[in-house]
Amino acid sequence: MTSEGFAPAKINLALHLTGLRDDGYHLLDSLVVFADVGDQINAEAADGLSLTVSGPFAEGVPVDDSNLVLKAARHLRSLRGVTDGAALHLEKKLPHGGGIGGGSSDAAATIRVLARLWGVAPLTAQEALVLGADVPVCLAAPQPMFMRGIGDVLEPAEGIPEGWLVLVNPRVPVPTQAVFKLHDKLYPVANPGLEDFRFDKDIGKFEAWLLGQRNDLTKVACEEQIAPVVSDVLEALQKLTSVREMSGSGSTCWGWFRSQDASEIAAEQLAQSHPDWWVKAARISGSS
């Protein structure tokens, strides 16, 4: 018996840091969408739990219990009282350390895949939070979501239009903890949240709203001691679209386009001018 699932790239179209809790967790206000590019998870019934990895970004991905895929599997099995196992395979197509939720989306996909294989209910967002701040929102894919609190307050984002992105990763991983630590040293930890707006699937209004938002981690990621190449990526995107930003804690950045043709042309130009970068045109799902 087998089960398989898709782990889409998670894109932060806006990421505002709004505070810092006493326990060190950051409060945030973010709009998250999901792209049609991502990793693939396959599971086959087995006695124990195991993981193998392949794909263009398989190198350096652990296959022991430090991998979120196995952590998610063990957490689901424990909470649902499952005694069965699974042989899991991850096809890694997304760059790791890229700010597009690769590990978190893999964990969420694993939960969905194994819930089907084992015939149990998938984890709730609250149950999945222990696996990481981005795992609960990734369980909601492909529905666009507002993510607040420490990632535990989720709300469907209504009226988001379907669109196209060009995703660019300079193949330089960014350590999330280092970015947050440097941010707290250099910049205010309490900033305004997202601006309220009714999108009504109006592309022009949505683009105007995006231009007024920000990612509070972008400046930090561009610092010399983190990944200054992120500045080069954003500059290259700015020549092609006015709506662009970094996703998550980096280093992947995105540019917004209104059509598939426009995104694919832009992606081809970037890939030719920067052959060392990972570049993908991707469709994002609008609100259901």
What is the reported pLDDT for 288?
67
Determine whether the annotation assigns residue 100 to a binding site.
yes
Angle at 29 between CA 27 and CA 34, to 5 degrees: 120
Determine whether the annotation assigns residue 249 to a binding site.
no
Determine whether the annotation assigns residue 8 to a binding site.
no
Burial 171-201 (b: 16+ CB within 10 A, else e): ebbbebebbbebbeeeeeeeeebbeeeebee
Q: Is 39 a catalytic residue?
A: no
CATH code for the part of the protein at 2-155: 3.30.230.10
Name the nearest CA neighbour of 239 among 266, 259, 258.
266
Query: Where are the chain's structural domains?
Result: 2-155, 157-284
- Supply 246's token pair: 């970094």
Q: Is 10 a catalytic residue?
A: yes
Low-confidence residues in the chain, pLDDT < 50: none
Rounded CA-CA distance 270/248 in Å is 21
- Supply 183's token pair: 């941010």
236 contact partners, CB below 8 Å, separation of at least 6? 168, 270, 273, 274
Would you identify the CATH topology of the domain 157-284?
Answer: Alpha-Beta Plaits (3.30.70)
Place of tokens 């087998």: 2
Determine whether the annotation assigns residue 203 to a binding site.
no
What is the reported pLDDT for 150?
95
H/E segment holding residue 209: helix 203-211
Say yes or no: do domains 2-155 and 157-284 share a fold: no
Average pLDDT, rounded, for the chain: 96
Say which DSSP state 264 is in.
H
CA atoms in the 13 A half-sphere facing the CB of 147: 32
195 contact partners, CB below 8 Å, separation of at least 6? 209, 212, 213
Rounded CA-CA distance 248/237 in Å is 17
**Cβ neighbours of 207 (radius 10 Å):** 16
Measured distance between the N- and C-terminal CA atoms of the chain, rounded to whole angstroms: 31
The pLDDT tens digits for 136-145 are 999 999 999 9
Determine whether the annotation assigns residue 248 to a binding site.
no
Q: How would DSSP label each residue in 38-102?
A: EEEEEEEEESSEEEEEESTT-TT---STTSHHHHHHHHHHHHHT---EEEEEEE--SPTTSSS-H
Rounded CA-CA distance 216/246 in Å is 10
The pLDDT tens digits for 139-191 are 999 999 999 999 999 999 999 999 999 999 999 999 999 999 999 999 988 99
Whole-prediction pTM: 0.96
Determine whether the annotation assigns residue 183 to a binding site.
no
Burial 66-79 (b: 16+ CB within 10 A, else e): ebbbbbbbebbbee
Catalytic residue among 93, 134, 216, 280: 134
